[in-house]
């Protein structure tokens, strides 16, 4: 369920981003189109002294004023549902009213048969960029209504002789134009669905890439990090510690007595024990520390931002104590121990590979001198404590 909810949130976020981008395209187009109309209408008004220029200036000014009002919302990508529908109404209304004025004042033929037919599809296409199929239907229906209303208005103003000579001016021509608008709207209707599918495909590919990357950095049995992930995180942690002047601790863990569990109870039981051990190790770490399985029964713990060797050894003791707790295999209880080596940056090494080698060497010192204990890198001697003699975790001196 959480994964499904996350995918839904990603879908919603991507969809909202595309909707906002589409509204911004329409907003930019409106600035350009109505800005151009405003300039040309002023020329018509002042140069040709035509009333159509006055209407054009008024309508373009109204559209630009609306653009100014919604600018803060568009720039902040807060495009609500009402903005989308009002924007479509503003665009179609301004286009229709200007063509109506041009029809009455100048020529009845060109605005109806040419200008409207060219511009209505553009407005329908701009509406489709909002990624709302219902908005496409709305824009198509309003365009169809506006274009036919404009044609009915223009009929009395057409030259009868010219209108009778042109198929585009009669009723059949208007039917053709209406069918064209409907077909165009039907085709554009699929744009939101197509973009949605592309976004979903993009999200799926991203999720697959992230999953593949995560699997490449994860141990398949225990779910811990693998050696590759450990190496990368170790290098990054040392770089950060070098800049901040802090320490990085590394604990190398090799299980003691694990082979008899495999030999006696089988590899399936051994895998179960390894999984439980991994869980116990992780339970002793902070969220930003890292536990990795680097071999069959070998684990490494990366402790970030540690202040001293004593702190690192304290973590190692707690881990050893948890590893030593019995494991249930069916009706039997089995035990395992571990040898742990601790090394710190910059105390024992200056880079990740050397730090890992120092912790590994410290672990082998423990294993060769009694096992089931914690050792620190570069120790000169190893003396088991009374606690170790009884089987409890301890530190070398």
The catalytic residues are 297
Please state the rounded mean pLDDT for residues 116-125.
82
Check the CA dihedral 388-251-284-303 and report its sign: positive
- The residues of the chain that CATH labels 3.30.70.270 are 227-389
Please state the rounded mean pLDDT for residues 145-165.
75
Q: Which two tokens stand for residue 189?
A: 């209707």
Looking at domain 227-389, its CATH superfamily turns out to be Reverse transcriptase/Diguanylate cyclase domain (3.30.70.270)
Predicted local confidence at residue 162, as pLDDT: 59
Check: pTM over 0.85? Answer yes or no: no
| Helix or strand (DSSP H, E) at 375 | strand 374-376
Of 51 and 218, which is predicted with more confidence?
218
Please state the rounded mean pLDDT for residues 162-173.
64
Coil, strand or helix: which one is 300? strand
Q: Which residues pair with 251 in a beta bridge?
A: 301, 342
Predicted local confidence at residue 397, as pLDDT: 27
Predicted local confidence at residue 281, as pLDDT: 94
Cβ contact 249:285 at 8 Å:
no
User: pLDDT of 21-38, one tens digit each?
Assistant: 878 888 888 899 889 888
Instruction: Give the separation between CA 255 and CA 339, rounded to whole angstroms.
Output: 6
Of 322 and 25, which is predicted with more confidence?
322
Across the chain, what does the average pLDDT equal?
81
């Amino acid at each position: 369920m959480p994964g499904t909810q996350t995918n839904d949130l990603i879908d919603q976020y991507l969809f909202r981003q595309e909707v906002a981008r589409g509204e911004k395209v329409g907003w930019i187009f409106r600035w350009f189109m109505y800005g151009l109309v405003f300039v040309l209408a002023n020329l018509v008004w002042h140069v040709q002294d035509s009333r159509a220029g006055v209407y054009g200036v008024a309508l373009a000014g109204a559209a630009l004023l609306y653009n100014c009002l919604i600018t803060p919302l568009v720039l902040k990508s807060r495009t609500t549902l009402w903005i989308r529908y009002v924007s479509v109404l503003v665009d179609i209304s301004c286009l229709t009213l200007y063509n109506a004025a041009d029809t009455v004042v100048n020529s009845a033929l060109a605005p109806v048969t040419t200008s409207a037919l060219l511009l209505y599809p553009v407005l329908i296409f701009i509406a489709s960029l909002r990624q709302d199929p219902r908005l496409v239907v709305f824009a198509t229906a309003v365009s169809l209504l506006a274009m036919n209303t404009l044609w009915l208005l223009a009929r009395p103003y057409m030259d009868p002789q010219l209108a009778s000579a042109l198929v585009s001016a009669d009723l059949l021509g208007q039917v053709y134009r209406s069918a064209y608008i409907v077909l165009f709207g039907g085709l554009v209707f699929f744009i939101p669905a197509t973009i949605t599918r592309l976004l979903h495909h993009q999200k799926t590919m991203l999720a697959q890439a992230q999953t593949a990357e995560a699997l490449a950095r994860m141990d398949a049995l225990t779910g811990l990090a693998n050696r590759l992930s450990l190496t990368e995180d170790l290098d990054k942690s040392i770089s950060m510690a070098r800049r901040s002047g802090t320490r990085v601790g590394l604990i190398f863990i090799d299980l003691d007595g694990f082979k008899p569990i495999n030999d006696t109870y089988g590899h399936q039981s051994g895998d179960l024990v390894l999984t439980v051990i991994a869980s116990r190790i992780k339970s002793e770490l902070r969220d930003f520390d890292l536990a990795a399985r680097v071999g069959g029964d070998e684990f490494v713990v990366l402790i970030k931002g540690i202040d001293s060797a004593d702190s690192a050894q304290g973590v190692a003791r707690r881990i050893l104590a948890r590893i030593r707790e019995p494991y249930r295999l069916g009706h039997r209880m089995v035990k395992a121990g571990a040898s742990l080596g601790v090394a710190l940056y910059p105390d024992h090494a200056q880079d990740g590979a050397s730090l890992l080698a120092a912790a590994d060497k410290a672990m082998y010192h423990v294993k060769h001198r009694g096992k089931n204990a914690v050792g620190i890198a570069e120790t000169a001697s190893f003396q088991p404590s009374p606690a170790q003699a009884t089987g409890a975790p301890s530190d070398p001196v």
